[in-house]
Amino acid sequence: MNSVSCIINCGGSVSVDFILSTMVFLMVLTSLAALVEDRMDSAKDAEELGTGRMMVEYVAETVDSVYSGGNGHSAVITLPPSINGDPYTITLMSGAVFMDVHGLRGQATMFPGAISGNEFKMYSSRSYNISNIQKSENYSEIVVKEIK
């Protein structure tokens, strides 16, 4: 008996086997789809962190440059509107720059100079003037002001 006539004339035993094997195949396919989706989310998070890391490094390098330039040295930076479509904040502290984006946090170290007010928050789509201001003969601090 050939396979086509057996499907028609075997009394349904081949049909049950076919249904079971189709169900197993669909279950495996569904689990693979979930695994691929999880990997895609991980890749998106890695891309956000990479882009955020570059932004944090840029801010830290700018602050280091201003601090190294001495009294009166300043620079203006403009932050992009988002990182991969997500809003973010940057926090300047003495010795470090932190970025928070989509529940993730990145950090870059910088020269441990004094930041006016000990901490300064920067927001996306805004411009900032970063200046080195001498407070006394042997002491200067970094002052960050938003440009409106």
- Give residue-wise pLDDT tens across range 109-121: 887 677 777 789 9
Q: Using CA atoms, how far apart are residues 80 and 82, in angstroms rounded to an integer?
A: 6
Q: Using CA atoms, how far apart are residues 10 and 2, in angstroms rounded to an integer?
A: 11
Q: What is the mean pLDDT of residues 15-34?
A: 84
State both tokens at 135.
């407070």
pTM attached to this predicted model: 0.68
Q: Using CA atoms, how far apart are residues 20 and 18, in angstroms rounded to an integer?
A: 6
Domain ranges (residues) in the chain: 39-147
Percent of the chain exceeding pLDDT 70 equals 89
State both tokens at 47.
């891309």
- Give residue-wise pLDDT tens across range 72-97: 899 999 999 988 888 899 999 888 89
Q: CB-hemisphere CA count at 13 Å for 111?
A: 15
State both tokens at 123.
């927001």
